[in-house]
Chain A
Amino acid sequence: MVKLMEIPEEEYIFPGTRACAGCSMALIYRIALKAMGPKTIITVPASCLTVLHGMQGFCTTKVSVLHTPFATTGASASGIVASLEDKGLADEVNVLAFAGDGGTVDIGIQSLSGAVERGTNFIYACYDNEAYMNTGVQRSGSTPHGAYTTTTPNGKTGYKKNMAKILEAHGIPYVATAISSYPLDLYEKFKNAQKIQGPKYIHILAPCPPGWGYNPKDSIEIGRLAVQTGFWPLYEVIEGKFILSKDSQRFIDPNKRKPIIEYLNVQKRFKDISNEDIEQYKSYIEAQWKEIERRIENE
Chain B
Amino acid sequence: MTITEKNHDSSDRKIKIITGNHAAAHALRQARVGVIAAYPITPQSPVVEKIAEFVSKGELEARFVKVESEHSALAVCCAASATGSRVGTATSSHGLMLMYEMLPWASGNRLPIIINLATRATGAPWSVWTDHQDFITIRDVGWIQMFCMDNQEIYDTNLQAFKIAEDSRVFLPSIVAYDGYILSHTMMPVSIENQEDIDNFLPPLHHHYNLSDVSVVKGIDPVTTPHLRDRGSEGRAPGYFEYRYAMQKALENSIEIIMEVHDEFSEKFGRSYGNGIYKTYLTKDADIVIFAMGSVASQARNVISQLRKEGLKVGLVSLKLFRPFPVTLLRELFKETKIVVVFDRDIGYGYEGVLSYELKAALYGLKQAPFIKGFIVGLGGRDVTDQHIAKGVSKAIIESEKGKISHETDFIGLKLGDLADYDEEDYFKGG
Which residues of A come within 8 Å of B, CB atoms? 38-41, 43, 50-51, 53-69, 71-72, 74-80, 82-87, 89, 93, 110-111, 113-114, 117-118
Contact = CB atoms under 8 A, between A and B. Distances in A.
7 contacts: A56-B223, A56-B225, A61-B217, A68-B78, A69-B101, A82-B65, A93-B212
B210 to A, nearest CB: 9
Contacts of B63: 82-83, 85-86
B67 interface: yes
A117 B244 CA distance: 37
Given A41-B214, A79-B76, A86-B35, A65 B219 contact: yes
Interface string B211-229: 1101011111111110001
A64 B63 CA distance: 22
B393 interface: no
Given A57-B230, A63-B217, A86-B34, 19 more contacts: A41-B214, A55-B223, A58-B231, A65-B219, A66-B79, A68-B105, A69-B102, A71-B101, A75-B73, A76-B79, A79-B65, A79-B80, A80-B80, A83-B84, A83-B87, A83-B212, A87-B85, A110-B72, A111-B75
A110 B65 contact: no
Interface string B61-100: 0110111110111011111111111010000000000000
A162 B237 CA distance: 42
B391 interface: no
A85 B85 CA distance: 10
A76 B76 contact: yes
Contacts of A62: 217
Nearest to A12: B217
A107 to B, nearest CB: 10
B236 interface: yes
Contacts of B35: 79, 82-83, 86
Nearest to A53: B222
B68 A63 contact: no
Nearest to B39: A114
A50 B223 contact: yes
Contacts of A74: 72
B211 A80 contact: yes
Contacts of B76: 75-76, 78-79, 82
B339 interface: no
Given A75-B71, A114-B68, A55 B83 contact: no
A170 to B, nearest CB: 12
Contact of A67 (B73, B221, B238): B221
Contacts of A53: 219, 222-223
B65 A78 contact: yes
A82 B71 contact: no
Contact of B218 (A59, A72, A83): A59
B165 interface: no
Which residue of B65, B81, B102 has the most chain A CB atoms within 10 A of its CB atom?
B65
Nearest to B62: A86
Nearest to A83: B83
Contact of B71 (A58, A61, A86, A111): A111
Contacts of B34: 83, 86-87
B345 to A, nearest CB: 31
B293 interface: no
B237 A75 contact: no
Interface string B35-69: 10100000000000000000000000011011111
Nearest to A38: B214
A110 B75 CA distance: 13
B85 A60 contact: no
B218 A64 contact: yes
A136 B314 CA distance: 62
Contacts of A118: 65-67
A59 B79 contact: no
A40 B84 CA distance: 15
Contacts of A66: 79, 82, 211, 220-221
A123 B33 CA distance: 26
A100 to B, nearest CB: 15
Contacts of A39: 214
A80 to B, nearest CB: 5
A110 B218 contact: no
B219 A41 contact: no
A72 B75 contact: yes
B9 to A, nearest CB: 31
In the complex, the 5 A-B pairs of residues with the closest C-beta atoms, listed nearest first? A79-B79, A57-B237, A114-B68, A83-B83, A59-B219
A26 to B, nearest CB: 16
Contacts of A43: 79
A74 B68 CA distance: 11
A18 B220 CA distance: 17
Given A56-B237, A83-B84, A77 B79 contact: yes
Nearest to A93: B214
A64 B219 contact: yes
Contacts of A64: 211, 214, 216-220
A111 B62 CA distance: 21
Which residue of B84, B212, B219 has the most chain A CB atoms within 10 A of its CB atom?
B219
A194 B229 CA distance: 37
Contacts of A84: 83, 212
B217 A55 contact: no
Contacts of A82: 35, 37, 63, 65, 76, 80, 85
Contacts of A41: 83, 211-212, 214
Contacts of B236: 57
Contacts of A114: 67-69, 72
Which residue of A39, A61, A68 has the most chain B CB atoms within 10 A of its CB atom?
A68
Interface in B168-226: 211-212, 214, 216-225
B67 A78 contact: yes
Given A76-B79, A82-B63, A113 B37 contact: no
A110 B69 contact: yes
B218 A69 contact: no
A78 B79 contact: yes
Contact of A83 (B75, B80, B222): B80
Contact of A78 (B72, B102, B211, B224): B72
Given A55-B224, A77-B79, A114-B72, A87 B102 contact: no
A96 to B, nearest CB: 12
Nearest to A43: B79
B222 A55 contact: yes
A72 B77 CA distance: 11
A84 B213 CA distance: 10
A111 B75 CA distance: 9
